[in-house]
Structure formats: structure tokens, C-alpha cells
Amino acid sequence: MDKILVTSALTYANGKLHIGHIAGSYLNADVFVRYQKLLKNDVIYIGGSDDYGTPISLKAEEEGVTPQSIVDKFNKSMRADLAGLNIRLDNFSGTSHQNHIKDSQDFFTNLNEAGYIKKRSLQQFYDASKNRFLSDRLVEGICPFCKADGARGDQCDECGKLIDAMELIDPKSKLSAETPIIKETTHWYLDLPKFENELKDWLETKTYWKDNVRNFILSWLNEGLQERAITRDLDWGVPIPLENTDGKVLYVWFDAPIGYLSSTKEFFQKIDKPEKWKDYWLDKNTKMVHFLGKDNIPFHTIIWPAMLSKQKENFVLPHNVPANEYLTLEGQKMSTSRDWTVWVEDYLQDFEGEYLRFVLAANAPETRDSDFNWKDFQLKINNDLNNVLGNLANRNFMFAKKYFDGNISRKNELSPNAKNTLTEVNDLASEIGKCYANYEVRKATKLFIDIARIGNKYFNETQPWKEIKTDSAKAEETLFICSEILRIISIVASPVIPKSMDKLRKMLGLNEEFFWQNLAKNQHNFIIDEVERLYRKIDDNEIEKQINLLEKKKR
């Protein structure tokens, strides 16, 4: 049995969840976790909100409330949205929760005592009209690498490179739009160059990581690692654990991943096993898998392992970081500031959570950016879910009810055609397992629909509506094979569409708990329970409404 610790990137607590978050780091993690549970592996799924930092502090100032109240509001809305999509973390915490400050300070102290943190005086941008130092995110300008406009002082969204704010071309304060002045201050730096050789050796063992992730890291390492500031001037954050440090707090990129650890501790405290987090974090056999979007790759493949490796405790390092690329919306880059996105909360007002799971899984941006658009959403639900999978279930069950009172048994030796069909289906089922294990949700989703297509083709070719008149045993064989195909689908598709697959199993008269190993079990009969439609069709006007809404709210 494998022991697996799965995380979704912490979501910044200054807004609600949108489909980009779900496609980037939640759905893929949830599918993986569900698959591991089907294999009976020991898996926990951890996440939360990233609560500190400048945008939240500014928003609180704007609205005249405390930062904590903003964070609490969005943390709560994230939980509700995840529940609506049936994404089930074992613990969804937040970095403003109880354990986190102490854990983050310990990380700082251990790195500092081991000689991996440097103190430096430096020049920093200062907005004279607002009387405050500008953190990197509060400065925008032209990217020194790709020359894109609107690069932030910490990172360029266009090329993904991390930036030293001082290198921005034509910098402007985001607070006032003025050109900031430069003033001296003190900050603490993580000495990344000191980790370089160690990291290179470690990363060389990660030959099994996804190509997009490996390429990203290699280009980073080839440019040479830079020291990186881990403190900033702000009152909303984790204070650094040193005397006389004058209101410096840890940078969110430093303390956020520590949130995985503090959330794990919180989880085991809640279930009254406060020491059990060690079974995962301190056991070399644990496979720690971080799900995230590509902007988070350097933090989780370079900085986070570096931080983990110099602690007093022997922490496990990431086993895999299956980062996704970006999701676009109607062919355009998603943007929350322009409100060019689909908020999960809005989506759930109009549609089933299961449908979004299916469409985002079928379009998962695993190897390159992929697009979400409403027409395609409608097409996938109506064609793949309704006309292929739903139809196979419906025609088979209706027929079984009408002619066999819902009682379908396997009789005699199966015909060669029936046997071949089952073999084909079983081969695809085991391929689907490999896809899940390999973070290929998109392919897995295509393959389980392919299995339903095989079922429909078989049903059409054997023509049970004719068979029933001449040879009812042959007709029953057809229904038995189709039921068996549906049983197999109910297992292999369950990580992606768990709710409708539970419904399908109930209709098949299968009520017991099931695991991946049940695939191999030969079912001998099915007692078809009450039949209802698995899915509904999406009308054109529902889709027009969504497209109009998008255009209307766009800024």
C-alpha cells in the first residue's frame, strides 16, 4: 500500500474560486485522490487559502474592515464552491489559522541557523505620495525578459519568469500610478545559489516528471539561481522571529507552501491524532504530490524543496509536481480584474457540479493551454454524457425492464462477439488506470466515453429488439454485456464523475462499496433498480444566457 500526501496549491484569499483554479489544481488532485482511494492506498488530501500579503491588506483598507474578516469570507466561499463540485479535501485550512505562524517561523529560524539566510540593506521602491514601501506586487512595468507590459515586480505572467522589481522597465506604483522613488531598507534573503548543486542532483532523479515541468525547471537552473528576498514591509503576515526587525513579515511565497504542513497538522488535531502528521511528513516512503498551475512551478520544484531540506526534522521532499498549463475562456486569457472568468458560485446556480467536472477533465490543460467555452460545454454534455453514456444506460435499462423485468443474468458460454467486446472494454479500463496514475485525466476521460461508444455499437449490431422475437437468450446476452460494460464504466469513470456513477451503480443494483480490483470480478447477474435519466440536455438558450452574461460583466 502506498502512502500519498496530495496537495492543491493554496488559493489566494482575496477572491472567490473560478474555473481556472479548478482546472489548475483542484479537479486534477481530486481525481487523483479518488483513484488512489479506489486502489486502497493510504492518501490524504490537503489544501487551504493563502491568507497574507499586500492585496488582502489593501482590500481591507479600502473596505474599512480587518484583513482577517476578508480572508474568512473568501475561505468560507471556497469551501462551499469545492463542496458544490464534490471536490473533497481532508482539510481545507488557511495560512491565518493557528499552527501556521509557528511553523513558518520555525522554517525561517532553521534556515537562518543553518546559514541559508542573508541579511541585506537594499534600495526599495517607495511611493512618496502614499508614504509606504512598495512590495514587488505593488510595482508594475515592462518585463525585462520578454518586454511584455503589465509585468508585476515579482513575476511576469506572460513569460512566467521571476523578476527583481528593480529590473522592471518604466516602473509605476499600483497605489498611485506615480513613478516610485528609491529608498534604503533592510531585508532577509534566501541564499538560493548555495542550494544549486544539491538541487541539480536531486532534480536529476526526477526523470519521470512531466515534460512541461522539467523544461521549466531546466531553463530556470540554466540561468543560475538568485538570492530571493523573503521579507517585506507589511503588518499583515507572519512576523519574522528576530528581535528589532521593525515590522518585517515573511513574504507569502515563503510561508504559503508551509501551509501544507500546518494544514496537515490542523487536520490531525481535529481528529484527535495530533502526532499523526509525522507519519506523512517525516516518513521517506510518503509520496508527496503537489497539484498546481504553471506559475507555481519554481516555488514547488526549487524553492520549497530547498526550504524543506534544511529543517531540523527530516521532511519528505516532493515526489511529483504535475503542474498544469493555463485554461483560457472563449479563446481569451482569463483575467479576474477584467472579470473574464466563470466563477464557480455563479456556475453552480445554473448547472450541476458534475458537468463542470466532466468538461474540465475532458479539456484538462495538462500539456498545453486549453480553452473552456460554453458551446463546447453544451456539446460535451449533450453528446458525450447524454447521447453516448446516458443513452447506453437508458436504452439498456429500458429494454431490460420491459422484457426481463429488470433481471439480467449471464447464461451459458458467452458468444465470441460478446467475449471480444468485453476484452476490448477491459483493455481500455486498464489503460484508464494507467492514465490516472500518470496524471492524464484528459485521456482517461476520453477513454471511458470510448468504452460507452463500444457499448452502443455492440447494442446496435446485435439488435436485441430483433433478437427478442426469435431468441430471447441472445437478447439477454446483449443486455448482460451492456450492463457489464456499464458496471465497468461506473468504476473507471467515478474519479471524474462520482455522483452520476453512484447513481448508475444504484440502477445496476450494485450497492456495496467498490474498488478498482472489482473490475476483474465477473458479475453474474444484474437486478436493475428504478431507472432514471443520468444526465439532462443543455438547451441553446441556457448557453446564450451564459455567453451574454460573460460579455455583459466584462470590464
For the segment 132-151, give every residue that binds Zn ion (CB under 5 A).
Answer: 143, 145-146, 148
> Is 162 one of the binding residues for Zn ion (CB under 5 A)?
no
The least CB distance from residue 169 to Zn ion, in Å, is 11
The site that binds Zn ion (CB under 5 A) totals a number of residues, namely 7
> Is 481 one of the binding residues for Zn ion (CB under 5 A)?
no
Whole-number Å distance between alpha carbons of 395 and 34:
29
Q: Looking at beta carbons, which pairs linking 332-340 to residues 24 or more positions away fall under 8 Å?
A: 334/18, 334/19, 334/20, 336/15, 336/18, 337/555, 338/554, 338/555, 339/553, 339/554, 339/555, 340/550, 340/554
Question: Binding Zn ion by CB under 5 A: which of 42, 72, 106, 158?
Answer: 158
> Is 202 one of the binding residues for Zn ion (CB under 5 A)?
no
Strand runs (DSSP E) across 191-246, as ranges? 228-229, 231-233
Given a contact cutoff of 8 angstroms between Cβ atoms, the answer to whether 502 and 479 are in contact is no
The least CB distance from residue 483 to Zn ion, in Å, is 55
> Is 408 one of the binding residues for Zn ion (CB under 5 A)?
no
Within 13 Å of residue 100, how many CA atoms lie on the same side as its CB? 26
Whole-number Å distance between alpha carbons of 436 and 400:
33
> Is 295 one of the binding residues for Zn ion (CB under 5 A)?
no
> Is 282 one of the binding residues for Zn ion (CB under 5 A)?
no
> Is 168 one of the binding residues for Zn ion (CB under 5 A)?
no
**Interface region with Zn ion, contact rule CB under 5 A, candidates 152-160, 192-200, 415-423, 532-540:** 152-160
Closer Cβ to Zn ion, 84 or 144, answer by number: 144
Rg of the chain on CA atoms, in Å: 27
> Is 156 one of the binding residues for Zn ion (CB under 5 A)?
yes
**Interface region with Zn ion, contact rule CB under 5 A, candidates 47-55, 154-162, 313-321, 414-422:** 154-162
Closer Cβ to Zn ion, 133 or 145, answer by number: 145
> Is 169 one of the binding residues for Zn ion (CB under 5 A)?
no
Ranges of H-type helices in 236-351:
252-255, 258-270, 277-281, 297-298, 304-309, 344-350
**Interface region with Zn ion, contact rule CB under 5 A, candidates 94-102, 113-121, 155-163, 376-384:** 155-163
The least CB distance from residue 164 to Zn ion, in Å, is 13
Question: Binding Zn ion by CB under 5 A: which of 80, 159, 398, 437?
Answer: 159
Closer Cβ to Zn ion, 144 or 498, answer by number: 144
Whole-number Å distance between alpha carbons of 260 and 234:
23
> Is 351 one of the binding residues for Zn ion (CB under 5 A)?
no
The least CB distance from residue 498 to Zn ion, in Å, is 40
Closer Cβ to Zn ion, 142 or 388, answer by number: 142
Q: Looking at beta carbons, which pairs linking 427-436 to residues 24 or more positions away fall under 8 Å?
A: 428/454, 429/488, 429/491, 429/492, 429/519, 430/519, 432/492, 433/35, 433/492, 433/516, 436/31, 436/32, 436/35, 436/495
Report the relative pairing of strands 327-329 and 332-333 from DSSP bridges.
Answer: antiparallel
Residues interacting with Zn ion, by CB under 5 A? 143, 145-146, 148, 156, 158-159
